[in-house]
Structure 1
Amino acid sequence: MNKHKIKPVKPSLRRKLSAFSERFFPRLHQRPSTNRPGRPQAAQTSVHHAQRHQTSGMVLQPTAFHRFKKWAGRIAALFLLLTACLIGALLYLSMQSLPAASISQTSQMLDLHGQVIDTFHTGENRRSVPLDQISPNLVKATIAIEDRRFYDHPGFDIKGLGRAIVANTVSLSAKQGASTLTQQLARNLYLTHEKTWQRKFKEAIYTMQLEMHYSKDEILSLYLNQIYYGHGAYGIEAAASLYFNKKASELTLAESAMLAGIPKGPKYYSPHMDMKNAKDRQLTILSIMAEDGVISKTEADKAYEEVLQFQPLGAGNQAGFAPYFRDYVKYLAVDKLGINEQLLNEGGITIYTTLDPVAQNAAETAVDKELANSDGQQAALISLDPRNGYIKAMVGGRDYKNNQFNRVFADTRQPGSSFKPIVYLTALQSGQLTPASRFKSEPTSFIYDEGRKVYKPSNYNDKYTNDFITMRQAIASSDNIYAVDTIMTVGADKVIETARKLGITSPMSPLPSLALGTFPVSPYQMASAFAVLANGGKRVEPTAITRIEDRSGRILYEAKQQAQQVVDPANAFVLTSLMESVFESGGTGNRVAAMIKRPVAGKTGTTANDAWLVGYTPELATAVWTGFDKGRKLTVAEAHRAAPIFAAYTEQALSAVPPKIFPIPADVVSVYVDPASGKLAEATCSAKQLEYFVKGTEPIEVCGEASGAPGDTSDQGTEESKAAEERKSWWNDLKRWWQHD
């Protein structure tokens, strides 16, 4: 017997694999039987194999430890496989783009002070704003009631889910939800609210992608701009405007707690639907915020007790304010500036306009009041700042709901005598006439077209002085004969040339009747032309839109205003001084002079069908037209309605602006003249009128004798006569002071 113990043979790797294979896949090792009769070798072989297995049996026999080890390996392999799959899935999701979410944005039109005067949207009323333009109170209140652990979880709040399950089980209801803000955002952006497993699976996928692609602040911003707050308001900016007429950045703690509670159920928690429910929800939110230490208990109590000032539903709708102007702005944006209509209605653009709400309100009030008792008489008013061309107010008619035609741009109305200042400006610039130039006011026949034609104008009601009058007298009394004499002197073609420089583009013919405003011009063009005079001869193109921005604040359009000197400043001032006489004693605008407490220049105009007053101060140039759409002739009373509208509007629109005189250019001189002769008025002259001239064009001939040294005209006339002259217009004192300061 062998004294050496037989050591077990350590199986090789091949034997291990063979043993493993035989144990779990025995059929692979089955062989056909070889023990046939007469073949003892096969039996010996079988015995040999048996001995081999017997020898190595202690290696292949399974034990409890071996079985545990095998199953643990399988579980570990499975875990690693699942982990690899999860990592792979997350990597795949991180590389995939989120579905395109078509979120329409409400576009806005703002007035000169940044207040909304119109909104455009085809579906949802939404206006997105950055997170830093949302009140921190609203942010904190929303997180407190919707997702207290928002900044701590990866999109799914397992702890919150457990808390909700316990709370709902205790109350036997579904009072607490477990959806995070990210889950709600995913659902609102990409899915419907149907309760199916397929929707929940997609929601989970999109939630993970949102957390991968965006920061927490970005997700919160998207949520606050997306969520529905009831009554058609989507997003907190629209909600703040709807409920409190505020921007989202201006919300107080009390207002924020009220609004944060609405998305849970707008029909149930809206203060416009159920104030008790809304207040209860507000209290819940404030209590949670105090419990979490976001605010103090005192702040919560104070906010709950605060009486909120809700805006009535529909009060924020500006449909009744400046409708003609808003239509004009939309026309400019789409037809002139090329803004796509879909972008206008869904793109969230902002249109900044020049509309002054104070001036617009004054314009609408003046028109409504003056036409309140008229039967169908219409009116148009346009007013702009001559210094920058900004259109401050626009009224295109008396009843927008029934008639949207904007008469401000109607070029079928004859301006009548309101066109005469353009004739006189041409004469002054040509040097052929001065304020002291005289023509006789009497019935006159004018021969033109090389003697082939005759023109016989007449004054209103056939009233003539039958004497020579100066340009100031002609403008104040609106003498037609003087106007036609002037155009015959300077040439009608030169008058048209001047009109074009002032911005009038309407068709005109070089005829004597042009002086009396027989060729139609729109109120828009008349206001633009007179603005040049108010601005010292500088023309600035009228504008209603200063700039347009897209939803990201990128500038799509910006107005580039440039002033062009088209009229000599001295001539512009001299004509302005002459036109001030319209509102003085004997002037056609004297009826409303008492209504205006500031220097003003202008010109009335009356035809059978149209009544005008076009005038200006240093800050506003305004054209007012009244008449009938169907061309009905005006009665005497109806013909006098343009002036009161102009006066009431001008004084109210400038109520907060101190009166200013028109600046006097350096090359303008003032002297006293005799209106009867047009000569310099000395002490012994029977009448005196202070008159302004472009330096070098003042009269040389003298009427009367000087009281001082020969040729001294610095102190013409007695102190008594000068004081009496100055009392004719209170603002002449201001002009004297300005000139001699």
Structure 2
Amino acid sequence: MPAKTGALKILFLLLGMCLLVLLLFLGIFSASLSTIAVSPDRYKPMVVSEVYADKGDKIGEFYELRRKVVPLNKIPKVVINAFIAAEDAQFLSHKGIDLRGILRASIKNFQAGHVVQGGSTITQQVAKSLLLTPEKKFSRKFKELVLAMRLEKNLSKEDILYLYLNEIYLGHGAYGVEAASQNYFGKSVSEITLAEAAILAGLPQAPSRYSPLLNSKAAKERQLYVLKQMVDNGYISKRESLEARDQVLHFYTRSDFNLRFAPYFVEHVRRYLVEKYGNERVLRDGLQVYTTLNLDFQKTANLAIEKGLRDLDKRQGYRGAINHFSDSKKIDTFLEEQTQKEVFEEGNVYQAIVSKVDDGAKKVGVRFGSNTEDLSNQGEIIFQEMRWARKPDLDKYYLEDLIKHPSQALSVGDVIWIRLIQKGTPWHVILEQEPLIQGALLSIDPHTGFIKAMVGGFDYTKSEFNRSIQGQRQVGSSFKPIIYTAALDKGYTTASVITDSPIIYKEGEEALEEKWKPRNFGERFYGDTILADALAFSRNIITIKLVQDIKIDAVTQMAKKLGIKSPLIEDLSMALGSSSFTLEEMCEAFSVFANEGKRTPPIFIQKVVDREGNVLEEYTPPSSQEQVISPQLAYVITHLLKGVIQFGTAKSVSDMKWALAGKTGTTNDYADAWFMGYGPNILTGVWVGFDERRKMGELETGAKSALPIWRDFMKEALKTYENKDFPIPDKIVFMNVDRKSGKIASRKSKYQSSLPFIEGTEPQEEEKLPKTQKAKMKKEEEEQFFKEEIEQ
């Protein structure tokens, strides 16, 4: 005890001498320092630029330092008082420096053996942060003291608090109380409680040491210290302190915000902003960017792509376990580590250990999240739900190659992916795997061009390449509507008859480099076919004959008119979609059909505002849109594309009770699958394939691979709109047409449809079938004509 007392006496003596020296140096430095140039109206720190969806939800942020400046009147008193009590109890009464505070802090730190209380006042911390370089010299400390006193003369206490609470570093990349509140609690500082305020106020001394995310025990001790200081200084009562102490806090583990909702879209926005305004301005100047994205649509698109690609990936077969553990210690370590980092929720995908494979009972047991025998941490895979787990074989149709026993795919000790389906004892889980296949979805409002949803791939963290706007892929039969639009523009009608029959082109003929014998899907030919049915059933030969007749240049010009910017392959193979375009280009082209012939380029930013509230740019819809094809032509092609869904290659979505039009597309060897489809107010395109062109699997067509994704998205998105049909423009007439001859249907016509015609182009001759010809019609031929086909 005497030794301790002696040490304190020596400390007091030294501190007294230091104070005398301090006063001397203050006089010297005061004369040499320049005038203070800091005030709230001049305070322009680096702040976060934020990106918002169409209804004001934040979807992205760009920054060098993560700071969000808030006015003092938006910061609750409880937060202000917590920081004053913890950092500078005499703040409201001192003139910039607190000599007694320095002395008191020195004693407490000496007694504790480490820093528990800072000696700098809040004003000193502001001076240090805003006016001084980070060099560690004695002269810097004296400058800090002088500047603190000058700040007190020039600014009010409220001004100093405003600067301090927005400038201070509070850990995990957060500067200022607003960014820190969002970091730790997932909400604005205006919403936090006393208990949460005490956590924040405990951070300035050592943000990492007292971080509740890194050291919960130290953070709690620091919180109790802050609460005690608030009681001692009269800011709260003892009862309030105890209530705050006992409040259970839920901390928010902040991931990269840009990955949360629409990573591909946010990156698309960032690139645009950097190109236009420069990287420094985007990262430092707090731009407010208002976009066209609909957050609900985006969430639906994310789910649709994930489900569709996982389903397709399973049809390709099971590529095996991630890892295998035969050592029980390794299994225990794996499960223990998983317990510490995962929160298990229904619907999510996690890793698990196979604990049992029972071929007799047709079940597989798994363990996850704990090395105990507790059934709440065990799951069961029903064999019927994992029969897809065959060895990959892209040349075999998956339904013909299902496994017969669980042991064909899994063994005890395998580390696998599972999805938690339903909580129980055990959980109901299903086998999963990370897809290798990729996909993209782009949804736009065809009347404004506003992009409402964008998905550029399965997982942005593994591949930032945006397949919706950057990836050029062969479009297959999804290009046919552009060809048919050109044909209708050249005088063809919905009832024009073309013969579906074999053709062979020699080398050099029609600009071809080698002999070509095109085929229909299924190796069949269907004879005389009206244009409406040729598009609905995606007849290859008829489309080639159309291109040959109207000429390649007519198709090229129509494609460019509709918004295709990529170069086209200008030979007859263009009829089968041999050219490669982006999904964005295809959406722009199809939007012309949905928008009554008017072309509107895709728009993704509505407004950009700087930190002062000045509007830097704002999208203003043009008074009139470019009419690239007539409303009548747009309506006719839309009607034909309705047939694709009603009875053609996309018939699997005909049960959706909406007016819908669209076109499937598949390339050779099932390498690319497309579906482009729209209603009166929304258009969505989907592409699926590997990044390096290769077969996806047997019969993986546009209808099989892309259409289900489109359906899952559109069935939710369409709920936003009124259920109505496409508007019929003037000068459109409907006639009942015989689907064999293309003539006006008679009462005796067996196969007829009501088709639209641009006024003056409708058929004039009525179909008259001889009785002998009608008698010869075979039942099987009738069935074949209308047989639902698999899309090519």
Q: TM-score, normalised by structure 2?
A: 0.67
Query: Structure 1's 411 and 399: CA in aligned 2 closer, same or farther, altered over 3 A?
Result: closer
Q: CA deviation at 1:410?
A: 5.1
Matched, 1:340 2:402: no
The one of 627, 632, 636 aligned to 1:574: 636
Matched, 1:500 2:560: yes
The residue aligned with 1:425 is 485
Question: How many residues of Structure 1 are paired with residues of Structure 2 in the alignment?
Answer: 614
* Matching residue's letter, 2:596: G
Matched, 1:460 2:521: yes
The DSSP-based 3-state class of the residue aligned with 1:372 is helix
Q: CA deviation at 1:456?
A: 5.7
Identify unmatched segments of 5+ residues in structure 2.
1-22, 317-391, 393-435, 770-786, 788-792
Q: CA deviation at 1:612?
A: 1.8
Query: Structure 1's 278 and 702: CA in aligned 2 closer, same or farther, altered over 3 A?
Result: same
Q: How does 1:236-275 map to 2 (within 5 A)?
A: 236-275=177-216
- Looking at structure 1, the residues matched to 130 and 173 of structure 2 have their Cα atoms a distance apart, in angstroms, of 17
* Matching residue's letter, 1:642: S
Q: How does 1:79-228 map to 2 (within 5 A)?
A: 95=35, 97=37, 104-122=46-64, 124-147=65-88, 150=91, 153-156=94-97, 177=118, 179-191=120-132, 197-228=138-169
Matched, 1:624 2:683: no
Query: Structure 1's 254 and 617: CA in aligned 2 closer, same or farther, altered over 3 A?
Result: farther
The residue aligned with 2:576 is 516
Kept after mapping to 2: 8 A contact 1:94/1:212: no
Kept after mapping to 2: 8 A contact 1:484/1:515: yes
- Looking at structure 1, the residues matched to 521 and 111 of structure 2 have their Cα atoms a distance apart, in angstroms, of 93
The residue aligned with 1:436 is 495
Q: CA deviation at 1:635?
A: 4.0
Query: Structure 1's 95 and 390: CA in aligned 2 closer, same or farther, altered over 3 A?
Result: same
The DSSP-based 3-state class of the residue aligned with 1:266 is coil
The residue aligned with 1:611 is 673
The residue aligned with 1:657 is 720
- Looking at structure 1, the residues matched to 466 and 108 of structure 2 have their Cα atoms a distance apart, in angstroms, of 63
Deviations 1:623-668 (CA, angstroms, capped at 9, x unpaired): 3223344433454333355334533442365275356334313424
- Looking at structure 1, the residues matched to 667 and 114 of structure 2 have their Cα atoms a distance apart, in angstroms, of 79
Kept after mapping to 1: 8 A contact 2:664/2:707: no
- Looking at structure 1, the residues matched to 666 and 620 of structure 2 have their Cα atoms a distance apart, in angstroms, of 36
The residue aligned with 1:675 is 739
* Matching residue's letter, 1:224: L
Deviations 1:532-557 (CA, angstroms, capped at 9, x unpaired): 22233332221333344444444444
The DSSP-based 3-state class of the residue aligned with 1:242 is helix
Q: CA deviation at 1:579?
A: 0.8
- Looking at structure 2, the residues matched to 687 and 250 of structure 1 have their Cα atoms a distance apart, in angstroms, of 68
Query: Structure 1's 399 and 494: CA in aligned 2 closer, same or farther, altered over 3 A?
Result: same
The DSSP-based 3-state class of the residue aligned with 1:239 is helix
- Looking at structure 1, the residues matched to 461 and 469 of structure 2 have their Cα atoms a distance apart, in angstroms, of 18
The DSSP-based 3-state class of the residue aligned with 1:602 is strand
The one of 637, 645, 650 aligned to 1:589: 650
- Looking at structure 1, the residues matched to 313 and 760 of structure 2 have their Cα atoms a distance apart, in angstroms, of 51
- Looking at structure 2, the residues matched to 243 and 403 of structure 1 have their Cα atoms a distance apart, in angstroms, of 29
The DSSP-based 3-state class of the residue aligned with 2:474 is coil
Q: How does 1:327-476 map to 2 (within 5 A)?
A: 327-335=267-275, 337=276, 339-355=277-293, 356=295, 357-373=298-314, 374=316, 376-398=436-458, 400-409=460-469, 412-430=472-490, 432-444=491-503, 457-467=518-528, 469-476=529-536
- Looking at structure 2, the residues matched to 450 and 161 of structure 1 have their Cα atoms a distance apart, in angstroms, of 94
Kept after mapping to 2: 8 A contact 1:128/1:551: no
Kept after mapping to 2: 8 A contact 1:261/1:269: yes
- Looking at structure 1, the residues matched to 272 and 536 of structure 2 have their Cα atoms a distance apart, in angstroms, of 38
Deviations 1:180-202 (CA, angstroms, capped at 9, x unpaired): 32211112334478886533321
Output the aligned Cα RMSD: 4.3
* Matching residue's letter, 1:340: G
The residue aligned with 1:529 is 589
Query: Structure 1's 95 and 274: CA in aligned 2 closer, same or farther, altered over 3 A?
Result: closer
Kept after mapping to 1: 8 A contact 2:479/2:575: yes
Kept after mapping to 2: 8 A contact 1:226/1:234: yes
- Looking at structure 1, the residues matched to 96 and 29 of structure 2 have their Cα atoms a distance apart, in angstroms, of 16
The DSSP-based 3-state class of the residue aligned with 1:605 is strand
- Looking at structure 1, the residues matched to 747 and 239 of structure 2 have their Cα atoms a distance apart, in angstroms, of 83
- Looking at structure 2, the residues matched to 350 and 440 of structure 1 have their Cα atoms a distance apart, in angstroms, of 59
Q: How does 1:20-39 map to 2 (within 5 A)?
A: none
Matched, 1:481 2:541: yes
* Matching residue's letter, 1:271: P
Matched, 1:309 2:250: yes
Kept after mapping to 1: 8 A contact 2:309/2:437: no
* Matching residue's letter, 1:255: E
- Looking at structure 2, the residues matched to 361 and 138 of structure 1 have their Cα atoms a distance apart, in angstroms, of 38
Query: Structure 1's 239 and 681: CA in aligned 2 closer, same or farther, altered over 3 A?
Result: same
Deviations 1:190-239 (CA, angstroms, capped at 9, x unpaired): 44788865333211222234345544443322212221212232222321
Kept after mapping to 1: 8 A contact 2:598/2:626: yes
The residue aligned with 1:73 is none
- Looking at structure 1, the residues matched to 762 and 228 of structure 2 have their Cα atoms a distance apart, in angstroms, of 83
Query: Structure 1's 549 and 149: CA in aligned 2 closer, same or farther, altered over 3 A?
Result: farther
Work out which of the two has the higher radius of gyration on C-alpha atoms and give 1 or 2: 1
Q: TM-score, normalised by structure 1?
A: 0.71
